Amino acid sequence: MPPRGNKKKKGGRSSAEQSDTDLVDDTASNVSSSSDLRSLTGEEGIPPPDAIDETEAQEDFEEKLRDQIDGTTQKSASGRKSCLAGLRQTFSRKVLPDFIDNRKVTITDCVERCLKKGKGEEQALAASVGSLLCVQLGSREGCEEIYNSLKPIMITIMNDKSAAATARAACAQALGLICFIAAGDMEEVVDIMTSLEKIFCAAYLKGDGTSPSHSPALQALHCAALSAWTLLLSIAPPSKVQEFVKTHLPKLPQLLQSDDVNMRITAGEAIALLYELARAEDEDFLGADLDSLCARLKQLATESVKYIAKNDKRKQRSSFRDILRGVEEAEAPNDTVRFSVEEIYLDSWVKKRQYEAFKDSLGAGVNQHLQENELLRDIFSLGAPIDVAAYNKQNKISRFERHMYNSAAFKARTKVRSKQRDKRTVTA
């Protein structure tokens, strides 16, 4: 049964509707922005359901993140590790500079406490969170203070032989990255490189020419220290590069004999980077014994022994093919990294080492940071972040164009396959 009152004539309007319309007509000139407001927030200034859901989701997310930050101070070691792991995952996958900037002192204190009082895995997680904190803040004010706070603690853990090797390796890797991001001057960079040298030099051959015997965990520590050292080498001043060429280039080939595939590859890339930087000053630079070095690099690029795992063998061959070309022919890498609607070209060993450092730290989140993180976009000369939705709308092709493209591609495939079928021979 229809409700009483406000009866409408057929084709007409109720008195209430007419008065409402008249009111809107009378005030339309005074609220010219009301339609824009309603398009964003809905009728009568009320946000549409999807906007409400998004706001609530963001508030829930930030609340959980605050709980994880607070959770790093709890008594339970397993609880602290769980919260640190959650922070590491969030910081690596999302770009949150404003949220973190407002809490950087609190987060830094939490990281310091876990580094000092934690053990093993907890220290490794805290070191990772500390490095990601600097990645998030980039060149913002306070990043250098965070570096100065965390640096002495990380150096102490890295040099502490009684500490877990995993924690020492994580501190070495984090120390290199935060120094790369936030160090105030080149003297600071060189000092950190000296600290890292003391770690990976233990992997060089002994005085009698024999290889030292180290556990896999210690080999991972040496590899992390060398990797961090190589990252800082990419920004070292030319005068220091010449010094490193003299002191380390004759010794780094020793690490190519390591039984750890990651150490072999890291050492090879360090050699390629040293050659690239040396040739930037002297394009005819050859090094002390280029022929024997290239022979060893070629052997690693084609090695097919059975005791190396298949994946490691594939990884080693691919890496050393590039390293051999870099050392023997002065040919730079030619890698392209695509993300969203953009791409970056890794056309030098400097760029490759810097990209790999951020990839190791951010993992699967590196593409998100390349899209939105101002620090990474500045390092790789990407400019201001792109509005992907606007870009796609501007560059969207019509349905007819897409149909024609697919049709042409189908015809091309058909021709190629027809030729291949014609070449087949029938066997009895």
Residue bearing the bigger pLDDT, 163 or 284: 163
pLDDT-derived band of residue 213, with 50, 70 and 90 as boundaries? confident
Which pLDDT does position 311 carry in this prediction? 84
24-28, 196-200, 347-351, 378-382, range with the lowest pLDDT: 24-28
Which pLDDT does position 392 carry in this prediction? 57
Q: Tokens at residue 206, please?
A: 């002994």
Which amino acid, residue 175?
A: L
Which pLDDT does position 33 carry in this prediction? 37
Whether the pLDDT of residue 92 is over 90: the answer is yes
Which pLDDT does position 55 carry in this prediction? 82
Across 35-39, 69-73, 284-288, 404-408, the highest mean pLDDT is recorded for 69-73
Biggest alpha carbon distance in the chain?
A: 108
By the 8 A CB rule, do 206 and 258 touch? no
Q: Tokens at residue 325, please?
A: 């070309």
Which pLDDT does position 36 carry in this prediction? 41
The average confidence (pLDDT) of the chain is 83
Which pLDDT does position 46 carry in this prediction? 56
The mean pLDDT of 162-174, rounded to a whole number, is 96
pLDDT-derived band of residue 264, with 50, 70 and 90 as boundaries? very high
Give the helix ranges, DSSP H, for 96-215. Answer: 97-101, 104-117, 121-137, 143-159, 165-182, 186-200
Which pLDDT does position 391 carry in this prediction? 55
* Residue at token pair 């800082």: 232
Whether the pLDDT of residue 65 is over 50: the answer is yes
Q: How far apart are CA 373 and CA 375, in angstroms?
A: 5
Burial classification of residue 171, based on how many CB atoms lie within 10 Å of its CB (0-12 exposed, 13-18 middle, 19 or more buried): buried
Q: How far apart are CA 242 and CA 279, in angstroms?
A: 10
Q: Which 3 state secondary structure label does DSSP give 348?
A: coil
Q: pLDDT tens digits for 241-253?
A: 999 999 999 999 9
Which pLDDT does position 354 carry in this prediction? 96
Q: Per DSSP, which regions of 227-339 are E strands?
A: 335-339
What are the beta bridge partners of residue 343?
338
Whether the pLDDT of residue 368 is over 70: the answer is yes
pLDDT-derived band of residue 379, with 50, 70 and 90 as boundaries? very high
Which of 241, 126, 217, 142 is closest to 174 using CA atoms? 126
* Sequence-separated (6 or more) residues with CB below 8 Å from residue 184: 144
Q: How far apart are CA 98 and CA 191, in angstroms?
A: 31
By the 8 A CB rule, do 206 and 212 touch? yes
Q: Tokens at residue 374, please?
A: 């101002």
97-101, 156-160, 336-340, 403-407, range with the lowest pLDDT: 403-407
**What are the phi and psi torsion angles at 345 (to 5°)?**
-105, 120
Q: pLDDT tens digits for 225-239?
A: 999 999 999 999 888
Cβ atoms < 10 Å from Cβ of 13: 12
Q: Which 3 state secondary structure label does DSSP give 346?
A: strand
Which pLDDT does position 185 carry in this prediction? 87
